[in-house]
Structure 1
Amino acid sequence: MAINCKGDLIDLTTPKVMGILNLTPDSFFDGGSYKDDSAILKRVETMLNDGATFVDMGAYSSRPGAEHVSEEEELKRMIPVVELILKHFPGTLISIDTFRSKVAQESIVHGAAIINDISAGNLDPEMFATVTKYQVPYIMMHMKGTPQSMQKEAVYNDLIKDLRYYFSEKITQTTQFKINDVIIDPGFGFAKTTEQNYTLLNHLDLFQTFGLPILIGLSRKSMIYKILGSSPQEALNGTSALHTIALLKGANIIRAHDVKEAVECVKLVEALKANAL
């Protein structure tokens, strides 16, 4: 199982870690932390040194109830940082967290390698065509509604069946558009209650039947700190626990704030698998 990033095949048989770089002032954990070039470069250097295969950049906060950001503002935040990172760390595989095709296109033109779309094309009908044009790997996540409305839409007939049907339809569409490298993300925390998130994690292995890489985003989310009665800042240990479970259930990419600890989870789970009887 591999994806083509700018001509290089990235083998996902051994899971990889995607480090998070938030360029927004209001992200739930590290919003506003990277305001200047020095802070951004230090963050990227640390993630790469800690073992990140990808760096995922977002300039539009998708936390529940986040404020709307204009396309112009998103581009203003995103493109200079893509250029900055690739100037100082030319081999970086940058993933762009956006649901807008124009932001995706401009980012790819400036050197980004992957598009990470929380809406799987639902919020911009031009997204699939854009990904087809540039033939970059495409992460499509499950979400209902928008970041502003999604928590009101956590209603399902059967959570797992509904998500499997959603991805079946989306995979059919991406096949019709001839998008070659598709990654699925079940969308922990997006239009899902805490209880639904744990149901989803329990059944994550059922999504392996699609034969596509699975990305999971659990890092420091409310499903962890609400159970523990803590906060995002105190949720690293809980994050590592759930990362381990997700890896055992077939996750191929771990999207994480804490790269070093996520890489350690991968190494330990791989050792466990290698020594199974």
Structure 2
Amino acid sequence: MVSEKAYWKVGGEARLEIGERSLLMGILNVTPDSFSDGGEHLQLFAAVARAESMFQEGAAIVDIGGESTRPGFEPVSFEEEVARVVPVIRELRSRRSDCILSIDTSKAVVAEAALEAGANIVNDVNGFLSDPQLAEVAAKYRAGVVLMRNGRSGEKEGSVLDRIRESWERSLEIAFAAGVKEPAIVLDPGVGFGTTRQEDLEILRGLDLLRSFGFPLLLGTSRKRITAEPLGLPVDLRLEATIATTVAGVAAGVELFRVHDVAENARAVCMADLIYRGNDLDE
């Protein structure tokens, strides 16, 4: 459970202190079709350079994905997904032995290849519900895990907050049965995954209630439709709205944020942490 001094265990002896300062997870899509940056980082040198820059800009974690999860995405084979992400992970691990890397996948075979190559965290947008063997892989490598609630495959009736909690309960049951330990787990409410924009607002307004579930939270709103549709914005003009949701998350006590624009969000959370987490100014 989250405490004043809490740590997220992310593989082996590695851990991240959470709660005192907001942590950013930089998004690195090694895909041709992601909704906002598809095709920008397909080449190894471009992907590695972008990851390096995100660490320099203040990312605590870089989250590497080889298959788009945008609405209507085209699935790729596990062979193609592995071929996209593993070389990037290996190169970054060789350059930065202590960096924290996450693999964004819902396939156990991809996760195992990524963890073997040096990833620390498994970020599953299906929360172990589509491939329960993913939980066994995560437990085997003692990886950190992000379990996201995904409403695209259909959910029971009820409020969006109730549906999120019900999904998390099922994900946690699978995780614990496979041997994943509680300090390795972070939960993600899945903003934009099978939700309306009104429901996305309800999630953002209910973050303090979701934190009462007892696990650290990761919020992923970066450039999503909730940052666009209310203002009629294209992808390249969603930064300020994204930062507004990030700051709202800090105010609600959310610990981690998955973002595209690391430098700008880093400056925002630094100030928001001073206000809402009660951090002191560095002397």
- TM-score tier, shorter chain, comes to over 0.9
Please state how far the C-alpha of 1:154 moved relative to its aligned partner: 7.5
Task: Give the distance between the partners of 1:41 and 1:163, measured in 2 at CA.
Answer: 34
Q: Which 5+ residue runs of structure 1 have no aligned equivalent? A: none
Quick check: 15-24 or 127-136, which moved more?
A: 127-136
Task: Give the distance between the partners of 1:126 and 1:8, measured in 2 at CA.
Answer: 23
Q: Percent identity?
A: 31
Structure 1: 4+ residue segments shifted above 3 A:
153-156
CA offset digits 1:127-161 (Å, max 9, x no partner) = 1111111111110100134xxxx5xx487422111
Normalised to the residue count of structure 1, the TM-score between the two structures is 0.93
Q: Contact 1:154–1:191 at 8 Å: present in 2 too?
A: no
Identify the residue that residue 231 of structure 2 maps to in structure 1: 228
Q: Contact 1:132–1:178 at 8 Å: present in 2 too?
A: yes
1:84-95 aligned at under 5 Å gives the runs: 84-95=91-102
Which amino acid is 1:173 matched to? I
Please state how far the C-alpha of 1:37 moved relative to its aligned partner: 2.8
Compared with structure 1, are the counterparts of its residues 224 and 9 closer, same or farther at alpha carbon in structure 2 (3 Å cutoff)?
same
Q: Which 5+ residue runs of structure 2 have no aligned equivalent? A: 1-5
Quick check: 229-238 or 157-166, which moved more?
A: 157-166
Task: Give the distance between the partners of 2:51 and 2:163, measured in 1 at CA.
Answer: 37
Q: Contact 1:96–1:112 at 8 Å: present in 2 too?
A: yes
Would you say 1:249 and 2:255 are equivalent positions? no
1:158-237 aligned at under 5 Å gives the runs: 158-180=159-181, 181-237=184-240
Please state how far the C-alpha of 1:275 moved relative to its aligned partner: 7.3
Task: Give the distance between the partners of 1:36 and 1:163, measured in 2 at CA.
Answer: 36
Task: Give the distance between the partners of 1:172 and 1:61, measured in 2 at CA.
Answer: 27
Which amino acid is 2:262 matched to? V
Task: Give the distance between the partners of 1:12 and 1:235, measured in 2 at CA.
Answer: 27
Normalised to the residue count of structure 2, the TM-score between the two structures is 0.91
Which amino acid is 1:11 matched to? E
Task: Give the distance between the partners of 1:112 and 1:163, measured in 2 at CA.
Answer: 27
Would you say 1:101 and 2:118 are equivalent positions? no
Would you say 1:4 and 2:9 are equivalent positions? yes
1:137-148 aligned at under 5 Å gives the runs: 137-145=144-152
Q: What is the number of equivalent residue pairs in this alignment?
A: 270
Q: Contact 1:2–1:11 at 8 Å: present in 2 too?
A: yes
Please state how far the C-alpha of 1:110 moved relative to its aligned partner: 0.7
The DSSP-based 3-state class of the residue aligned with 2:92 is helix
1:50-65 aligned at under 5 Å gives the runs: 50-65=57-72
The DSSP-based 3-state class of the residue aligned with 2:126 is coil
Task: Give the distance between the partners of 2:132 and 2:164, measured in 1 at CA.
Answer: 20
Task: Give the distance between the partners of 2:155 and 2:239, measured in 1 at CA.
Answer: 26
The DSSP-based 3-state class of the residue aligned with 2:228 is helix
Q: Contact 1:113–1:137 at 8 Å: present in 2 too?
A: yes
Task: Give the distance between the partners of 2:178 and 2:42, measured in 1 at CA.
Answer: 38
Q: Contact 2:42–2:84 at 8 Å: present in 1 too?
A: no
